[in-house]
Amino acid sequence: MLKRFIKYYKPHRWLFCLTMAAAVAGAGLTVLIPAITRRLLDECIPNNDLMGIIQNLIWMLMLIVITTVMSYIRVKWGHILGVRMEFDMRAEFFGHIQKLSFNYFDNVKTGHLMSRIASDLNQIAEVAHHAPEDLMISLTLLVGAFIAMFSFNAPLAAIAILPIPFMIGWGVFYGGSMRKGFRNVRKRIADINSRVENSVQGIREVKSYANEEEEIDKFEVVNISFRSAKEKMYGIMAIFFSVMSFLIESYFFVVIAGGVILIHFGNEVTSGDLLAFILYVYFILNPIRRLVNFAEQFQQGAACFERFTEVMDIEPDIVDKKDAHIFEPVKGEIIFDHVSFKYAQSHETVLEDISLQIPSHKTIAIVGESGAGKSTVVSLIPRFYEPQQGTIRIDGHDIMDLKQKFLRENIGIVQQNVFLFDSTIRDNIMYGNPDASEEQLIDAAQKANIYDYIQSLPEGFDTLVGERGVKLSGGQKQRISIARVFLKNPPVFIFDEATSSLDTESELLIQQSLELLSQNRTTVIIAHRLSTIKNADYLYVMNQGRIVEHGTHTQLLEKKDYYHKLYTMNLF
């Protein structure tokens, strides 16, 4: 874990060296102040050396000024080092989760990811800055102080060094318990984030069912769990800091008692020696306190970094082969050859022995009852999931041999649950082609039958749609999504036609856009309405993960089989 963490220092090694040099220089110069104090008391004042007194006071003042400058460098650039490392880790984390497949996101809570990318990384940044700095300052002060103390009075220095191993030993011994406690607290924070995110996203359902009290009760469960975890953590911290406080406060007693005993038995301990030693004890206690804080911070940071690496260690289950290729031009012929599929961590087969052929520039519809596997079939084409058996080919090329980016760049998708980013209408449409011109943007909006509505808005294309497009109706969101595909202009188009909940006018506008979008491209539609089915060139009928019938609308009705049954039951 430590090796993995150190690599994040490498891009900023010069900044790291600067802050560490400032920390060591500041601590090293601080050690000289008690030595100057001892010289003033034992030499300058008894000898009435006014010039010596002035010179030593000037030296002391210069040391204070220089250590102040070193402190400024350390605090400013040390925090900047932490911020830049946090930036790098957050960018790497976000880039990594973009590579993960739907299988991962099907089983992870958004709140847990948000907790890792926000609060966990912020804590790691604090440790990245403070931990090595505190360690270097502490070691410099301890080593420098004891070198000076042994040079002044070795017996008294030997007494002063005795409690140090007990302090360090306690910090190391009890650190493991603190680490487990901090890790548990971080998990509970993630649970709270997840609960809040879930409730806020579903706030309309919460209020429509008047279930505010139930949501409050659910939140109370995770909130109580968080409180219990923190209370347990603070119990562990109380033991740790109480014992450490006892050891620290006893340190003065040990040094003073040792000095008194040495003086009693005739050892030459001057007033300057004793005062210098008391000052050095003060300087030693500071690094000891730093080491105590370091132990706490390090355990928090270690817990956060473990959670960070948990995600980073998850390998994408859908990756390009080393020899993955592209091809031009893409005509759009799609063939499923005995494809079977089941979701990860599930024993139930969702698709079984699916074989179908979609000619290029044709429109085919996949129909069937809810849960038949229609959406799963179209999710396999852009490799959102990968089948356990069989092959899928586009223009004769196995999609497993193609680059994912190339494959998805040539497929446009309008999903049943349309997602719009919390931005402007312009940004959401331009997502299909960020480099498109204003003329292309307007043309796409017109073809999607959404341009007139956009023009009626005070801000036009710059109107904010709200989170997940909450300021728009279902039909408006779907037409914006269609405009996005028009702008992308892919050779293959997949449309999950969720028009069952739309008004007649919106459905008609979407059907007109769909007919226009389907021209001269391969179109796969999950059909929910008869109007779409009649316009399709060919139909595949699914039931319980299998294709049970296929043919044109007329042919399937003439068979008077499963499709005829669905049709007569008014399921379209």
The predicted structure's pLDDT at residue 531: 65
Which among 143, 157, 159, 148 is positioned nearest to 35, based on CA atoms? 148
Asked if residues 271 and 36 have their Cβ atoms less than 8 Å apart, the reply is no
Whether residue 300 contacts residue 127, with contact meaning beta carbons closer than 8 Å, is answered with yes
> Tell me, what amino acid is at 265?
F
**Does the residue 319 lie in any domain?**
no
Q: Report how many domains make up the chain.
A: 1
Residue 107 lies in a domain: yes
Q: What is the CATH number of the domain that holds 57?
A: 1.20.1560.10
The one-digit pLDDT tens for each residue of the chain (572 residues) are: 778 888 888 899 899 999 999 989 988 888 888 778 778 777 787 778 788 888 888 888 998 899 899 989 988 998 889 889 888 888 888 888 888 877 777 777 766 677 777 778 888 888 887 888 888 888 888 888 888 778 877 887 888 888 878 877 776 677 666 667 777 776 777 777 777 766 766 665 666 556 677 778 877 888 888 788 888 888 887 887 788 778 877 877 887 788 778 777 766 666 666 777 777 777 777 777 777 667 767 777 887 888 888 888 888 788 888 899 998 888 999 999 999 998 877 778 889 999 999 999 999 999 988 888 888 899 899 898 889 899 999 999 999 999 988 998 899 888 777 778 878 888 888 888 888 889 998 988 888 888 888 888 888 888 888 776 777 877 788 888 888 888 888 999 988 765 545 556 666 777 778 888 888 889 998 876 666 777 788 999 999 899 999 999 888 888 889 888 888 876 55
How open is the CA angle 236-311-377, to the nearest 5 degrees? 140
CB-side neighbour CA atoms (13 Å) of 543? 9
Residue 149 inside a domain? The answer is yes
In a domain, 94, yes or no: yes
Q: Report yes or no on 553 lying in a domain.
A: no
Q: Which domain holds residue 288?
A: 2-312
Q: What pLDDT shows up at residue 176?
A: 62
Quickly list DSSP for 19-37: HHHHHHHHHHHHHHHHHHH
What is the DSSP pairing of strand 546-551 with strand 538-543?
A: antiparallel
Whole-model pTM: value is 0.69
